[in-house]
Structure 1
């Protein structure tokens, strides 16, 4: 069963269960800042036999590209419980996340790990080929370390993306991308 709900509709117990699954799925490499980044938007949660088996979140961010600001549906915390991998749950939560992005935002974006690249490429996400920046508290800052892991989704009628141009994300604590 797939559920889509805003953070505000997750009970404290449900938030704890999702966080626990993310900690397990990311093998301890999912910190408090990562958790904070996926709050405040919409959560796509796959449940099988009363167990949370997969998760993705879509949060709104502001991106600068081609001399204007764009509403970005940023995909966060895509994960599948280790016991449930290889059964299509990542594709299921991503399909719903993509529907949300396509119908509510000017573009989609995400930061892909090396192990996640194949999933996003197969689903039509495009690797960003230009330079990435963040609008930090002290002004624009180059984020060269994020160039290779940044992926975008073209939204019909949305942003006119120039994949070799610059893409600037809003600031946040922890990983900005």
Structure 2
């Protein structure tokens, strides 16, 4: 019989991650997203709470939630924005992604008015099955040059109602500015 290393889920703020943990998380995401990630994407993962799944000493899953402000219907909503969700390819299908998201969803529901994330087509069903709702309204970004329509983000932004349930009839969902992909 083969012995499997213990699986454990940890959560920690970016400030509490050691160099080895931070390096492992960055390397994992670069491996998971194979060329579809850059330093801006990694930076977007920092400054909030990281959930990490470990099998023994190996990091096999990562996700983080950071605070952002999304504007909707005349309000600036304190939003837990989920970033950097990835599970090593040879460890998928074992519930690691669900464990990561459960940890972050607890944080979103307890600390924010709303949860939001930008999904790949491949992950859309995963988020929808967890209760995340595809945002059916327009998306925009508050840029240094003013509010700009982000049509390319339409159809990939998901929200998780917490204290607030945004209604697409109330107008677009507008994200705050950041370098790289704004959503």
**Structure 1 spans left out of the alignment, 5+ residues:** none
**Cα pair 2:138 2:168 within 8 Å, conserved:** no
Q: 2:159 & 2:62 partners in 1: Cα distance?
A: 19
Q: Does 1:172 align with 2:178?
A: yes
Post-superposition offset of 1:13: 1.6
Report the counterpart of residue 44 of structure 1 in structure 2.
51
Post-superposition offset of 1:19: 0.6
Post-superposition offset of 1:14: 1.2
Instruction: Kindly tell me the number of residue pairs found equivalent between the two proteins.
Output: 175
Post-superposition offset of 1:86: 0.9
Between structure 1 and structure 2, the one with the greater Rg is: 2
**Structure 2 spans left out of the alignment, 5+ residues:** 1-7
1:93-145, Cα deviation, whole Å (9 max, x unpaired): 00101000000000000000011101101001000010000000010000011
Runs of 4 or more, structure 1, over 3 Å off, are none
Q: 2:53 & 2:142 partners in 1: Cα distance?
A: 34
When normalised by structure 2's length, the TM-score is 0.94
Q: Does 1:105 align with 2:115?
A: no
Report the counterpart of residue 121 of structure 2 in structure 1.
114
